[in-house]
Amino acid sequence: MPDEKKYDKQLTDIMNRLADSVLDLSDEQLIAEARAEGIDVRGEAERVRNVLRRASKSYRMSKLVAAQRNYESQVARMQARQYHLPTSASKRRELLTAVLSARPDMQSALLTAQYRDFKELSDVDVESFLKQLKELGMLDIPKTSGEQL
């Protein structure tokens, strides 16, 4: 066995024996020993609780952080991509209306109740919805506007 592996095994054995010796002590004995060493038991307990809370929160947030990165990546990709949409805002609005008429189930997924009549929906939102529909492969409707999609 190489020296490094032998050293690692010895260190692991020592740590395991120390852990076993601590397991044999009662809570009162551990607290008394810590106080005898000058350790602030309450302060140390709070420090350990904070470390565990941060580690727990970090673990729980890791999926959220990954999802946020993925979302930002997808948005950047969508912004960089060229879409063949009607050039005028009114034609894009007509196209969105046609898509939602052909697929009424999509209207509730895309638009909140306040925007269902399209009066307050901005041109930027209309274009964004069309791009999202194109990304989802749901912008395949009969071409009534005479423009290429």
Position 102 scores a pLDDT of: 81
The predicted structure's pLDDT at residue 38: 94
Question: Residue 54 has what pLDDT?
Answer: 96
First to last CA, the chain: 69
- The pair of three-digit structure tokens given for residue 23, joined into one six-digit string: 């397991």
pLDDT at 148: 43
What does the pLDDT average to over 128-137?
A: 82
Please state, in angstroms and rounded to a whole number, the distance separating the CA atoms of residues 108 and 132: 15
47-106 tens-digit pLDDT? 999 999 999 999 999 999 999 999 999 889 888 888 888 889 889 888 888 887 887 777
pTM over 0.75, yes/no: no
